[in-house]
């Protein structure tokens, strides 16, 4: 049995959005495109909230402080969607109604 090992840690260098997609540019030249529906907080966030992001460390993860969302680059590469429960998301959406 073989195990996948990464030669270098995947690092993000830039983030952008296109309609219903999150686009992550990696330091090695690759681009990841994932549907926003995979990350409901991003999907429900405003354009301004999505634009307020920062890279953590050297780019191993992305954080959106206004949306309390953190996405690891290795998880993106592995195809992992948000693991937030529907109950948690519903509570978060409820707190946003007062805005």
Please determine, for residue 98, whether its predicted confidence score (pLDDT) is greater than 90: no
Cα–Cα distances (Å) from 10 to 5, 72, 99, in that order, read 12, 10, 36
pLDDT for position 92:
95
Residue 39 DSSP symbol: S
Q: Max CA-CA distance within the chain? A: 53
Residue 34 forms part of a structural domain? yes
pTM (predicted TM-score):
0.86
Whether 64 and 50 have beta carbons less than 8 Å apart is answered as: yes
Residue 76 forms part of a structural domain? yes
Residue 40 forms part of a structural domain? yes
- Round to whole Å and give the CA distance between 62 and 58: 10
Residue 6 forms part of a structural domain? no
Three-state SS at 14: strand
Can you give the residue range of the structural domain that contains 24?
Answer: 12-96
Which pLDDT tens digit goes with each residue over 29-68?
999 999 999 999 999 999 999 999 999 999 999 999 999 9
DSSP 73-94: HHHHHHTPPP---HHHHHHHHH
pLDDT for position 15:
97
pLDDT for position 6:
53
- The better pLDDT of the pair 1, 14 is held by 14
Mean pLDDT of the chain: 92
């Amino acid at each position: 049995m073989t195990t996948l090992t990464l030669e270098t840690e995947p690092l993000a260098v830039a983030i952008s959005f296109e309609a219903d997609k999150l686009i992550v540019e990696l330091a090695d030249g690759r681009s990841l495109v994932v549907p926003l529906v995979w990350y409901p907080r991003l999907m429900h966030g405003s354009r301004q909230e999505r634009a307020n992001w920062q890279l953590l460390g050297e780019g191993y993860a992305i954080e959106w402080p206004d949306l309390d969302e953190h996405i690891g680059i290795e998880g993106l590469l592995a195809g992992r969607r948000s693991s937030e429960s529907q109950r948690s998301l519903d509570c978060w959406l409820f707190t946003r109604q007062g805005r």
